Structure 1
Amino acid sequence: MRFFSDNAAPACPAVMAALQDANQLDTAYDGDQWSARIDAAISDLFETEAVGIWVTTGTAANGLALSAMCPPWGSILCHRFAHIEQDEAGAPGFYAHGAKLTLLDGPGAKVASQAIDDAMAAIRKDVHQVQPACLSVTNATEYGLAYGRNEMAALGEAAKRHKLKFHVDGARFANAVVSTGCSPAELTWKAGVDALSFGFIKNGGMSAELLVLFDTALADTIRVMKKRAGHLQSKGRFAAAQILAMLENETWLDNARAANIAATVLAEACGERLVYPVEANELFVKMTPDEAAAIRAQGFDFYDWAAGEVRLVTSWDQDMGAVEKLAEAIRRL
């Protein structure tokens, strides 16, 4: 009974059907009929003109976006627990040819506008210190907390105040949209976001993520960098088809809603064991090693996290019977 990662979940039926439909002769690279539809689909969803560029991984989406917004001699402000700092093997610096990360603090891996102001105030405006060029935040965060419209607007104002480009790592963006009840537009460009790494793989996709550019002037540069980085697949229609299938009929929202509901059921059982509120599909739960071993002995799979904590992650396809069993097992601890 799997609760260790939504990355391990199957691709959803809509995606599998779309892959089959795309398995026909068409133009190579990103000149196919599916890729040609992405910009319109994304612009409609976000209620503004936007460019959508498919890639195969979230790391590539983050790296390409940040390298287009930050010069090699600049830095990217992010939380110290951000995925780009903790889990991408230095990819942002690799893509951006040496740009560094300037790390911020905040509970639940959230960045507050005051932290941005404080970081900028501590950096001298001279040639001896690296000057920040970009802000990157994750929504939902690495600890499962969701930024709402007011929080995103405050971050956007801070970015504008300090002349920073604004990037969002949205590996679980769908879960944040469902949790907050905000529109995709309110959590992105209306708050000043320039680029969003829109996650699909964790939410039922197979091998496609989408870089959404609200600053459309970045598109030409990123397309060249995408090719140079080895992410321009010759049969790109399969990536584009997955994304369109998730967007059609709001499959991306239905899948995120299912994962969030399963997480809510577990959260009720965890009670005061929760380290953070559950606002997406991740739970961080206080458990001793003996308690975790007792739960695993009943057939449940999950990751140990910090000392005395475990992480539970629910997925779009989560078996609610297994969810109820895990909830009961936690109540009995």
Structure 2
Amino acid sequence: MNFASDNIVGASGPVLQAIVEANAGAMAAYGNDEISVRVRARFAELFEREVFVFFAATGTAANALALSSAVPPYGLCVCHREAHIIDDECGAPEFFMHGAKLAGLPGVGAKLRAEDVDAYLKGLPKAVKQMPPKALSISQVSEGGLVYGLDELAALGRVCRAHGLSFHMDGARFANALVALGCTPAEMTWKQGVDILSFGATKNGGLMAEAIVVFKPELAEALDYRAKRAGQIISKSRLIAAQFEGYFAADHWLDNARHANRMAALLSEGLARLPGVRLAWPTEANEVFPIIPQALDRALKAAGLHYHSWTELSLPETETIGKDEVLIRLVASWATGEDEVRRFLEIASSEVSRQAAE
């Protein structure tokens, strides 16, 4: 059983079927095909307004290109210190921003608070020796598995407007956050001040399906050129676009996300009932972050269960990891079966009982 990531499973049936159907015949290349046109229109429907949509093959490319449109080489992008863009993308955003820097701020559960961002921005020197802040980037869902509420997003949007920053959202798990909040895509983005979005589908049933969705027109002006230079203007773009057609059809994307979140909730509830196990943060989407005894960690791995240990940097001040404990991350996906979750819990419960009896 593998709970290491939602990247480890393949593409869903509707997405694969859409690729097969799009594969037949000849169509215009480089995004000028009828499928790409339809999908761009579908994005506009979902977000309830005109948007600019640029397809990409990876989330790293989407993030790096999105930020390059908002931050000049002499600028600064503010993010959480554990954000994916600063910790997991090998400097790609800074590379594509041609030397601009990422400034990582602390925050519980890898979330940023508007008041902390505001205080940081107000404290920056205004002299030419200081790189001026040009963008704020947040991960929705955060790297701690937490979801920004609409009021939190609105507060961050106000801070961005007050300081003249573009507001970027890394939506690698956009659908998981959306169903957790029970709102619309528009309500979770531009209506709260988001200017540009990295819209991820790969973790939620796509094969390789990412998009940059731009709400602020001036940020879209050079993205075609930036994407071309990055090798992200794909000749057979219809096969990227088709994935979104299968993804959106009959709300398949939302069903996938609801299932993943439900499996994570089941896993979280079961683990929280075990003696000696507690949650580092609430389970709000499809990731679970339990603190478990090291002996249980060893036993789970010996039983062939796969997951990752996790950083303690964003724990609440009231929480510490004991010398005989470890913080781990478990991720449920659209393909995670309830039988897998229950089997994981059975193994964990049995091992906790065995260790208590020793």
Please give the residue correspondences for 1:36-75 in structure 2 after superposition, counting only pairs within 5 Å.
Answer: 36-75=37-76
Displacement after TM superposition at 1:117 (Å): 1.1
Which residue number in structure 1 is paired with residue 9 of structure 2? 9
Q: 1:210, 1:243 within 8 Å by CA — same for their partners in 2? A: no
Query: Larger deviation: 119-128 or 189-198?
Result: 119-128
CA distance in 1, matches of 2:39, 2:337: 32
Match of 2:204 in 1: 203
* Equivalent-residue separation in structure 2 for 1:131 and 1:216 (angstroms): 22
Distance in 1 separating the partners of 2:329 and 2:231: 33
* Partner in structure 2 of residue 189 of structure 1: 190
In the TM superposition, residue 274 of structure 1 has moved relative to its aligned partner by 0.9
Among 283, 286, 296, the alignment partner of 1:278 is 283
**In the TM superposition, what is the alpha-carbon distance from 1:45 to its structure 2 partner?**
0.5
Listed one character per residue, the Cα deviations across residues 288-326 of structure 1 (whole Å, up to 9, x for unaligned) are 332112112333211122371111000101111011111
Unaligned runs of 5+ in 1: none
CA deviation profile, 1:249-290 (whole Å, cap 9, x unmatched):
111101111100000001101215111100111111112332
Take 1:35 and 1:217, find their aligned partners in 2: how far apart are those partners? 22
Residue of structure 1 equivalent to 2:319: none
Answer yes or no: is the 8 Å Cα contact 2:288–2:330 preserved in 1: yes
SS at structure 2 position matched to 1:27: coil
- Cα pair 2:297 2:326 within 8 Å, conserved: no
Matches for 1:254-333 after TM superposition, within 5 Å: 254-271=255-272, 273-306=278-311, 308-332=326-350, 333=352
- How many pairs are equivalent? 333
Q: Retained in 2: the 8 A contact 1:148–1:182?
A: no
1:6 is paired with a residue whose SS is coil
User: SS of the counterpart of 1:124?
Assistant: coil
- Asked if structure 1 preserves the Cα contact closer than 8 Å seen for 2:167 and 2:194, the reply is yes
Larger radius of gyration: 2
- What amino acid is the match of 1:111? L
Amino acid of the residue matched to residue 5 of structure 2?
S
1:331 counterpart letter in structure 2: S
Is residue 115 of structure 1 aligned with residue 133 of structure 2? no
Measure how far apart 1:47 and its partner are.
Answer: 1.1
**Distance in 2 (alpha carbons) for counterparts of 1:46 and 1:96:** 27
More displaced stretch, 17-26 vs 323-332: 323-332
What is the rounded CA distance, in whole Å, between the counterparts of 1:103 and 1:119 in structure 2?
11
- Give the drift of 1:329: 2.7
C-alpha displacement at 1:150, in angstroms? 0.7
1:208-227 equivalence runs, <5 A: 208-227=209-228
Distance 1:40 1:318 in 2: 31
1:29-40 equivalences under 5 Å are 29-40=30-41
Q: Distance in 2 between matches of 1:328 and 1:196?
A: 40
Could you tell me whether the CA contact under 8 Å between 1:275 and 1:284 is conserved in 2?
Answer: yes
Quick one: distance in 2 between partners of 1:240 and 1:51?
Answer: 14
C-alpha separation between the residues in 2 aligned to 1:42 and 1:155? Answer: 24
What's the secondary structure of 1:308's corresponding residue? strand
Are positions 1:157 and 2:162 aligned together?
A: no
What letter matches 1:275 in structure 2? A
**Unpaired stretches in structure 2, ≥5 consecutive residues:** 312-324, 353-358
Mapped to 2, the partners of 1:52 and 1:250 lie a distance apart of 20
Could you state the TM-score of these two structures normalised by the residue count of structure 2? 0.91
Work out the percentage of aligned pairs sharing the same amino acid. Answer: 45
